[in-house]
Amino acid sequence: MARDTSLFSGRPSELIGRQVAGYRIEREIGRGGMAVVYRAKDLRLERTVALKLLAPELARNDTFRRRFTHESRAAAAIDHPHIVPVFEAGETDGVLYIAMRYVSGSDLRHLLDSQGPLTPATALRIAAQIASALDAAHENGLVHRDVKPGNILVARGTDSDHPEHAYLTDFGLTKKSLSLTGFTTVGQFVGTLDYVAPEQISGKPVDARCDVYGFACVVYECLTGHPPFRRDEDMALLWAHQYDDPPPLTEARPDLAPPVDAVFADALAKSPDDRHDSCLAFVTDLRAAVTGGPAGGRPATAVDHKVVPAPEAPAKNPPKPPPRWAEPVFRQ
């Protein structure tokens, strides 16, 4: 048993320099509630990878193990520019691990914490990339279930037209649907409840539309700096996802046009049937609401044109504030 947990003692320094399943651990990158992520060197190919070691209790949970194997394979099979490629997933010394591309950059959680809300243009660029990743996953029969800022990695983009390249990661690694219905008795860490869809909470079967909900919560936070629902207690938060209306986004961002609120009302609908069919459909509607263009085939009305300011005004307009997305903190 001591050996089982030796890879996950919580003391990262013990693993630095050690070899785990053919990877030499170089340094800790970050940790979530159920995993530690290290930068490591794949000794066979001499390439740098991100090596994720999952908490040992997950390896002992049969349902999780089955889904881990199934969904790691499914995620590895998707070749998409905005999904972190998985190189290998396996088990060593009772610990499940995943080796994936090391993304040099930051995660969206860190960006929002350090820089506050994004400009609409930046939020829309990142949202469009992650939406295409989610829709591709859905077309491959995969539901992410844990869309949150920590699972969106942002690297430097290729040029000034593409200042950032966003990646989605961690398919099928959530325990939420396993534990939400009984997490108080099981007493396991559930992770953040800020992005969890009503049907996940009530234990109903989930499909792609639960990701539309989680994704819309993330985009809401990108624009306002906070998720749609904020409550002191977990139970109150779960209740809010199920029964409360999200506060109109324009309360926090009065510079955005009112049609934006209707787009979020749809994407965050309690019933999956009332949401957008895809993440890209949501982003398309949002872009139209932000820029005043036509949405969903609906011709732009005079009202749209009158009230909607361009997200980033041309130079002749009054001075715009310096972009928040000036120079994100990129890891070396």
| Residues in contact with ligand ADP by the rule CB under 6 A | 29-32, 35, 37, 50, 84, 100-103, 107, 150-151, 153, 169-170
Euclidean distance between CA atoms 80 and 78, whole angstroms: 6
Shortest separation between residue 113's beta carbon and ligand ADP, angstroms = 11
Sign of torsion over alpha carbons 286, 287, 291, 295: negative
C-alpha span between 6 and 316 (Å, rounded)? 62
Which of 106/278 has CB closer to ligand ADP?
A: 106
Burial class (CB in 10 A: 0-12, 13-18, 19+), 332: exposed
- Which residue in this structure is represented by tokens 């559930």? 190
* Nearer of residues 57 and 244 to Mg ion, judged by Cβ: 57
Q: Which residue has its beta carbon closest to ligand ADP?
A: 32
Rounded Cα gap, residues 77 and 137, in angstroms: 10
Q: CB 36 → Mg ion: shortest distance, Å?
A: 11
The answer to whether the beta carbons of residues 106 and 118 sit under 8 Å apart is: no
Pairing state between β 23-31 and 19-20: antiparallel
DSSP summary character for residue 295? B
Nearer to ligand ADP, 170 or 304 (CB): 170
- Residue 40 binds which entry of Mg ion, ligand ADP, none, with Cβ cut-offs from 5 to 8 Å by kind? none
Q: How far is the CB of 200 from ligand ADP (least distance, A)?
A: 17
- Structure tokens, 29: 């990158």
152 binds, among ligand ADP, Mg ion, none (CB under 5 to 8 A by kind): none
Q: Give the residue ranges of the annotated binding site for ATP.
A: 52
Residue 10 CB, nearest approach to ligand ADP (Å): 13
Residue found under tokens 């965050």: 268
Which of 42, 107, 146, 194 is flagged as catalytic? 146
Q: How far is the CB of 151 from ligand ADP (least distance, A)?
A: 5
Closer residue to ligand ADP, CB minimum distance, 154 or 210 = 154
Instruction: By CB under 5 A, name the binding residues for Mg ion.
Output: 151, 170
Q: What is the bridge-based pairing of β-strands 47-54 and 35-42?
A: antiparallel
From the list Mg ion, ligand ADP, none, partner contacted by residue 29 (C-beta under 5 to 8 A by kind)? ligand ADP
Give Cα 309 distance to the centre of its chain.
Answer: 28
Nearer to Mg ion, 170 or 261 (CB): 170
Residues in the annotated binding site: 52
The item of ligand ADP, Mg ion, none sharing an interface with residue 42, based on CB under 5 to 8 Å by kind, is none
Handedness of CA 49, 54, 60, 62 (dihedral sign): negative
Catalytic, 4? Answer: no
Task: Work out whether strand 105-107 and strand 95-101 pair parallel, antiparallel, or are unpaired.
Answer: unpaired
260 binds, among Mg ion, ligand ADP, none (CB under 5 to 8 A by kind): none
Least distance from ligand ADP to the Cβ atom of residue 280, Å: 23
Identify the three-state secondary structure at position 133.
helix
What span, in angstroms and rounded, lies between the C-alpha atoms of 51 and 88? Answer: 9
Contacted entry of Mg ion, ligand ADP, none for residue 102, CB cut-off 5 to 8 Å set by kind: ligand ADP
Q: Under a CB-based contact definition with an 8 Å cutoff, are residues 290 and 124 in contact?
A: yes
Q: Select 151 or 224, whichever has its Cβ closest to Mg ion.
A: 151
Known catalytic residues are 146
